[in-house]
Amino acid sequence: MAEITTLFWDVGGVLATNGWDRDTRHAAALRFALDEEELEQRHEALVSALETGKISLDDYLERTVFCHRQGFSREEFKAFLYAQSQPQPDSLALARELSGKYLMATVNNESLELNLFRIEKFGLREIFAAFFSSCFVRLRKPDPAIYKLALDVTQKTHEECCFIDDRPLNLEGARQVGMRVIQFEDVNQLRRDLAELGVTAAPAVPAA
């Protein structure tokens, strides 16, 4: 079995909370007294275009939230949306430990604006060498093409790569192109599963 050299990571649900998932939209509907059923219908019609960079977040909000007169501003709503993004400190700490020893990249579905916000907020540029985000590459998980693109760009073989995600459907796409996969449950389980693949953190640097 080939040695693992490259780790591809999901962001929402692994390194951080989900950015704009059903639970977050539910919270937004309660906070701003929105018709949740209508919001979900409009969201489903537009999410692919949003996450592949075909429309902006402002365009999306205009067609999902501000298609009706509202008693709050766009800025208020976006501030709430961004505030829902919170880090998973233990997962980020593990990723930082591994980043000096393995090639690290993300493969995630996210809108451009939210993706850039989260990259900055969670310090992901310090950890990851590349971001195969749907908004950049115009492909979404679980389409096998996004994982194939990640392999082509990094020039890694599928045998030496592992993809980490919390959703089984997304793991199926990676598995189809031959990557090894780990379904994330918690950081201790992730450490164990990585260790079984021979992936271990770099030794700690002794204090001066």
CATH of the domain at 47: 1.10.150.240
Residue type, 90: D
Which CATH number goes with the domain that contains 11?
A: 3.40.50.1000
Bridge pairing between strands 103-108 and 130-133: parallel
Quote the CA–CA distance of 92 and 88 in Å, as a whole number: 6
Task: Give the residue from 38, 68, 83 where a domain finishes.
Answer: 83
Q: Which of 55, 83, 111 is the last residue of a domain?
A: 83
Contact assessment for residue 5 and residue 104, using Cβ atoms and an 8 Å cutoff: no
E strand segments, 3-127:
6-9, 103-108
Domain membership of residue 95 as a residue range: 6-17+86-196
pLDDT at position 43 is 98
Q: What is the mean pLDDT of the chain?
A: 95
**For 132-155, what is each residue's pLDDT tens digit?**
999 999 999 999 999 999 999 999
pLDDT at 205: 45
Q: Considering the domain boundaries, does residue 42 fall inside one?
A: yes
Q: How does pLDDT run across 18-65, given as a tens digit for each residue?
A: 999 999 999 999 999 999 999 999 999 999 999 999 999 999 999 999
pLDDT band of 201, cuts 50, 70, 90? confident
Q: How many domains does the chain have?
A: 2
Say what the pLDDT of residue 203 is.
53
Q: Is residue 201 part of a domain?
A: no
* pLDDT for the residue numbered 202: 57
Is there a domain that residue 203 lies in?
A: no
The verdict on 191 and 151 lying in the same domain is yes
Task: Find the angle CA(31)-CA(35)-CA(40) to the nearest 5 degrees.
Answer: 100
